[in-house]
Amino acid sequence: MNTDELTRPLPQDAREILDWAWAKFAPYYARVQSVALDARNVDAWLADWTRLSALLDEAYQRLNVATTQYTNDATIEARYNRFSEEIYPQYQTAEQTLKEKLLASGLTPVGFELPLRSLRAEAALFRAENLSLQTQEQKLEKEFDKIIGGENIVWRGENKTPAQMWQTLQDPDRALREQIWRAILDTRLENRAALNDLWARQLRLRLQMAKNAGYVLADGSGDYRAFRWQQYLRFDYTPDDCKRFADAIAQVVVPAASRLYEKYRARLGVDSLRPWDLQGPMGFAAAAPTRDARPLRPFQTTAELIAKCAQIFADVDPALGALFEQMRAQNLLDLENRPHKAPGAYCQNYEAARVPFIFQNAVGANDDVQTLLHETGHAFHAFESFALPYIQQHAVPLEFCEVASMSMELFGAPYLNRADGFYNDADAATARVEKLETMLLFWPYMAVVDLFQHWVYENPSQALESQNCDAQWGALWERFMPGVDWSELAKERVTGWHRKPHIFTSPFYYIEYGMAQLGAAQLWANALEDQADAVRAYRRALALGYTVTLPELYRAAGARFAFDASTLRRAVDLIERTISNLEA
């Protein structure tokens, strides 16, 4: 090894290493690996490891983000694939050696107890033979993005993305809404065969990874759920807890959602509520407006969306407002929907630069405002936890990450009608009602998505056949989603799992939203008593990163990590009571 390579300082910007070969990274890992660890130098060693790991992680994430921004750019795809295939597996192997080194030392640095627990679980899960499979899995996820990102609807002579069409589902003309809804769903159904084929390839790959790691079901198939549980570092609840949560939702929330759907039916004056009577093609959403109501149009441009949300964040907390202004100044927002942009929204952390980046598909709807509030909650979480020195301390459980984002939607709600804001008083009340109603309608949908995945990975041989997946989705839909009439729409109803990206790209990542929404509802209840105090507790909890357990994070924020019927009932009662007050 060249001596110059060992003494060369690391680059300061991850963008400098996007096109490096592994041979340029290896000396840095060798240098960290060569240190003889003891209690006197472990903190400095962790700092060196953090800087190195953060640079590679950020380089990979920047390339990954670019592929979602421009799904049709072959050059970007090639750069991502090269890094994913040639660098990322070597990076994971090198990271594994450092994990094993720290664990073998027996040292427990201050504030590192929980990261050590995670490192033990990750090290136990590592299998070299899975590295190439993980690369294949990432490529299949990009294939899903390309399929969905390439969807195009010709509407009245213009090319439209499905996201651009969704906002028109708020039109009071029922016949027009049906045409739009069918156009969106027909476009997805055109990809039915492609998505089914992709699904089978993804499922086989996931089962093999689980089997390689020693997780096997009685029939010899890989136990991917157990594998994924450890991969997600879920120490504080079990699959059975998820099923109990679903039972509580069926008991408490489904009746409330049914009351809400009946209110929508009566308001619209229709014999039965049809899917196009809601404001989104997913199957759960607030009702479309009546003919004497006008759709909410909170902004015309993304610049306006950003400026008005900046005002809200400053009202919630001036320090948080300053962090959002930093994101705006550093061009860390890509919010506007456009062709060949992957669907959805996310907040991605850039660990070396210690800044977050927000990706969104805004089209001018109220939901876009809620999405930016939500994703910026994630960004605030990142900023607060970046004060902790080590990258492993930033790996907060997803069940609390979503509390950070969902709480920000609720904290921001009182300021939707501020001067020069999005709405007047009446429209702000409408927007808040819509948000609260969507919370109620979400829990049953979340239960469908989560239980569907439990069924898939408990019965993988059956789930390889798409018609069995259709049947299971349909059965769960009947149990949790009554109130909307899907007659003569069988294929649209049973292929609803095709319209949930998490099933394809983030398996088992959905229960977090349901748990966190219950946590956020508790923080909101606190804010109704004293918003300033609730926000202070929120920020204190965000700043803990992953230095305390999941239940302790909830407690620090002012909530209980619980998902039983009684806790759920208190949240549902508060939501229904507030809706009634706002409507009055």
pLDDT digits (tens, 9 = 90+) for 77-111: 999 999 999 999 999 999 999 999 999 999 999 99
Q: Where are the domains of the chain?
A: 3-110
Tell if the pTM clears 0.85, that is, is over it: yes
User: Which residues in 41-52 are b (16+ Cβ under 10 Å) and which e?
Assistant: ebeebbebbbbb
User: Would you tell me how many other CB atoms lie within 10 Å of the CB of residue 304?
Assistant: 13
What does the angle CA 238 – CA 443 – CA 406 come to, to the nearest 5 degrees? 90
Kindly tell me if the per-residue pLDDT of 461 is higher than 90.
Answer: yes
Pairwise CA distance, residues 553 & 398, whole Å:
12
Nearest Cα neighbor of 187 from 213, 164, 205, 161 is 161
Q: What is the pLDDT of residue 1?
A: 36
Residue at token pair 């990009």: 142
Query: What is the arithmetic mean of pLDDT over 339-344?
Result: 91
Q: What is the pLDDT of residue 4?
A: 44
Kindly tell me if the per-residue pLDDT of 17 is higher than 70.
Answer: yes
Q: What is the pLDDT of residue 6?
A: 44
For 374, the token pair is: 């939500």
Pairwise CA distance, residues 34 & 45, whole Å:
11
Kindly tell me if the per-residue pLDDT of 416 is higher than 70.
Answer: yes
Pairwise CA distance, residues 509 & 521, whole Å:
20
Kindly tell me if the per-residue pLDDT of 516 is higher than 80.
Answer: yes
Number of residues that make up the chain: 584
Kindly tell me if the per-residue pLDDT of 247 is higher than 50.
Answer: yes
